[in-house]
A and B are shown apart, each in its own frame.
Chain A
Amino acid sequence: MGLLSKKDAALIKDPLADNNPITIQVLGICSALAITAELEAAIVMSISVLFVLGIGNVVISLMRNIIPSKIRIIVQLIVVAALVIIVDQVLKAFAYELSKTLSVFVGLIITNCIIMGRFEAFALGNGPWRSFLDGIGNSLGYGVILIIVAFFRELLGAGTLLGFKVLGDPIEKTGVYAFGYENNGFMLLAPMALIVVGIIIWVQRSRNEALIED
């Protein structure tokens, strides 16, 4: 990337792979379980987190020298809450159906461990540009995993992708015996999201031995 220095580029690249917030730091699992049954919801969630974390990191970074450390958590919460309300209102205005599917989980971005984690670990100690890149990188890393998980869950669980039928016919179950395709209802249940995340972690670590911890 010519645009960014090597150090800055690492801020974006690392969370995508070797320092992924979900598969390596195991943060933000709750939302990864809750909204990955449909690909569309996962994509919107990723964009929302991208927005909140990108801007939130910049805001916190700009304020980092004037926040008294005793009340910094409250300040951080107010910043996230403000941003989340913006996202929520925008969704309600322009994608009402979707905001109903995501329901409480948009609001719960406030408690997403990744966001508070990045504020605490990065934005409080770095300048706004680097904080911005860090926020973008981490939310992309989060989004990639979310989308991979949702892809498999929606494809195998409902036979659809973004609502379009891809596999089999989930409604007309008759007439297919033994060789027909049938939706795997287990894929739509929360445990399967954990197992899919687990398989991604497994694949990632067996490709990069340095990530294996004892």
Chain B
Amino acid sequence: MGLKEKLHNFKVKNKDKKWLPAFSAIHTFLYLPNETTHNGTHIKAADDLKRTMNTVIMAMIPCLIFGMFNAGYQHNLQVGEAQAVAGSFFSSEFWTMANFMIGFWKILPLVIVSYGVGLGIEFIFAIIKGHEVEEGYLVTGMLVPLIVPVDIPLWMLAVAVVFGVVIGKEVFGGTGMNILNPALTIRAFLFFAYPTWMSGDKVWVEGAVERTNEILAGANLDAISGETILGSLAQGKEAGYGVMDMFLGFIPGSVGETSTLLILLGGLFLIFAKIGSWRIMLSSALGAIVMGLIFNQVVDSGWITESSKFYGLMSTTWWHHLLIGGFAFGTVFMATDPVTASQTNKGKWIYGFLIGFISILIRVFNPAYPEGVMLAILLMNVFAPTIDHYVVQGNVKQRMKRLKAKTA
């Protein structure tokens, strides 16, 4: 008797137990269940929820690994143990074991806390409600460590995950019912609850906060810091990084969001696997480009001067906006979340376009919230059902007209 049958027999034997959903979750994760639906029409397809989730996770793995190297690199660069890599992807200064280990030991706990707390809550809810555990958290759990600063305290992350999963998802009825993207709800919670840990020039470099505290306590050390490009621009300073660095990702930022190249590869993989919607990705980029061009035009026409507090971000070349901050990551991995995005094809174009458009708008006009893409996606999540409603109604009206013309 193989392991699969043993597990199945175990399940049958304990089918009245309260904790069974917890066991079935692990069981279905490892094997396909023996039983199938008995009545009603059903479609047999290979791409079930589990596989969809795993594909998205696979698309994010390169970003995670790059994030580990980058966390260590940013730290070593600041303390002077690594040389700046100027725009070459395979630089030996970047892909070192020392860099990786610093990032690994910093980011692994983030992943563990995110999955541990999130899945724990999913299990508790499954047991209380007596339904199967939903796979929804698999992707969220991987997204969360990628969109927080590397130095975030673990307990804050845990509190935020509890909030995001319970208030953002479970109260609406669990996976597939949520209005807001749970990972972004978690990030938004952190952003508003603990702003000192989510912005500024310390949190993006591993160990910078700790070192500041040591200096305050009297230690004789040099302070280290690393401002994100958006942060510098919002304060009207020079970004200080080359375009190639922005594209390849050798810049300070949240763990997995820096490398536009790897995010693009992940996005292509998702499009190829037919899981991410290319309409949303493309239209978001279009929206951002349109807004960026408008702002560039405003600057070119001389409507605002360098003394304006919006000048720094407004004068940023339009296509740089696509490379800096979390824009690429948000568009590829968050905006395309099939649950919270628009469902209709026409709706996806509108939804994506507005995400891009509003992201850049928030970025420029509210320097306190440089990460406009988070707020833009959450806002459009709320409007996605409305967009769908009007697209569907428009279609219905068109057909009614056609029917009338035919019968008349």
On A, residues with C-beta under 8 Å from B are 173-175, 177-180, 182, 184-187, 189, 195, 198, 202
Flag if B210 contacts A177 (CB, 8 Å).
Answer: yes
Interface check B195, CB cutoff 8 A: yes
Known contacts A185-B195, A195-B167; is-contact A175 B216 (Cβ 8 Å):
yes
Taking CB atoms and an 8 Å cut-off, the chain B residues in 137-176 that contact chain A are 153-156, 159, 167, 171
How many residues from B make CB contacts under 8 Å with A? 20
Flag if A185 contacts B153 (CB, 8 Å).
Answer: no
Flag if B155 contacts A179 (CB, 8 Å).
Answer: yes
Flag if A175 contacts B217 (CB, 8 Å).
Answer: yes
Residues of B within 8 A of A182 (CB): 153, 156, 194, 197
Known: A174-B217, A186-B193. 5 other contacts (CB 8 A): A177-B210, A179-B155, A184-B159, A184-B193, A184-B194
**A195 to B193 alpha-carbon distance, docked (Å):** 14
Residues of A within 8 A of B167 (CB): 195, 198
* Subset of 8 A-B contacts with CB under 8 Å: A177-B153, A177-B209, A177-B210, A177-B213, A182-B153, A186-B193, A189-B192, A202-B171
Flag if A178 contacts B153 (CB, 8 Å).
Answer: yes
Residues of B within 8 A of A189 (CB): 192
**A105 to B154 alpha-carbon distance, docked (Å):** 39
**Interchain residue pairs A-B with the least CB separation, the first 3:** A186-B193, A186-B192, A184-B193
Interface of A is mostly: loop
Interface check B196, CB cutoff 8 A: yes
Residues of A within 8 A of B209 (CB): 177
| Least Cβ–Cβ distance between B212 and chain A, in angstroms | 8
Flag if B154 contacts A178 (CB, 8 Å).
Answer: yes
Interface check B365, CB cutoff 8 A: no
**A202 to B197 alpha-carbon distance, docked (Å):** 31
Residues of A within 8 A of B216 (CB): 174-175
**A173 to B200 alpha-carbon distance, docked (Å):** 15
Chain B window 188-204, contacts with chain A (Cβ cutoff 8 Å), 1 for yes, 0 for no:
01001111110000000
Closest to A202 in B: B171
Flag if B213 contacts A174 (CB, 8 Å).
Answer: yes
Flag if B213 contacts A175 (CB, 8 Å).
Answer: yes
Flag if B155 contacts A178 (CB, 8 Å).
Answer: yes
Residues of B within 8 A of A180 (CB): 153
Closest to A173 in B: B196
**A173 to B154 alpha-carbon distance, docked (Å):** 17
Closest to B153 in A: A178
**A187 to B163 alpha-carbon distance, docked (Å):** 12
**A178 to B372 alpha-carbon distance, docked (Å):** 27
Taking CB atoms and an 8 Å cut-off, the chain B residues in 176-231 that contact chain A are 189, 192-197, 209-210, 212-213, 216-217
Most buried by B among A173, A174, A175, A202: A174
**A185 to B195 alpha-carbon distance, docked (Å):** 8
| Least Cβ–Cβ distance between A172 and chain B, in angstroms | 10
Residues of A within 8 A of B154 (CB): 178
Closest to B156 in A: A182
Residues of B within 8 A of A179 (CB): 153, 155
Flag if B217 contacts A187 (CB, 8 Å).
Answer: no
**A80 to B171 alpha-carbon distance, docked (Å):** 38
Of A174, A187, A202, the contact of B193 (CB 8 Å cutoff): A187
Chain B window 16-57, contacts with chain A (Cβ cutoff 8 Å), 1 for yes, 0 for no:
000000000000000000000000000000000000000000
**A177 to B214 alpha-carbon distance, docked (Å):** 11
Flag if B189 contacts A186 (CB, 8 Å).
Answer: yes
Residues of A within 8 A of B195 (CB): 185
**A36 to B154 alpha-carbon distance, docked (Å):** 29
| Least Cβ–Cβ distance between A155 and chain B, in angstroms | 14
Residues of B within 8 A of A175 (CB): 213, 216-217
Flag if A185 contacts B194 (CB, 8 Å).
Answer: yes
**A187 to B192 alpha-carbon distance, docked (Å):** 9
Known contacts A178-B155, A195-B167; is-contact A185 B193 (Cβ 8 Å):
yes
Closest to A179 in B: B155
Residues of A within 8 A of B197 (CB): 182
Residues of A within 8 A of B155 (CB): 178-179
Closest to B128 in A: A206
Residues of B within 8 A of A187 (CB): 193
**A173 to B171 alpha-carbon distance, docked (Å):** 34
**A154 to B156 alpha-carbon distance, docked (Å):** 18
Closest to A206 in B: B128
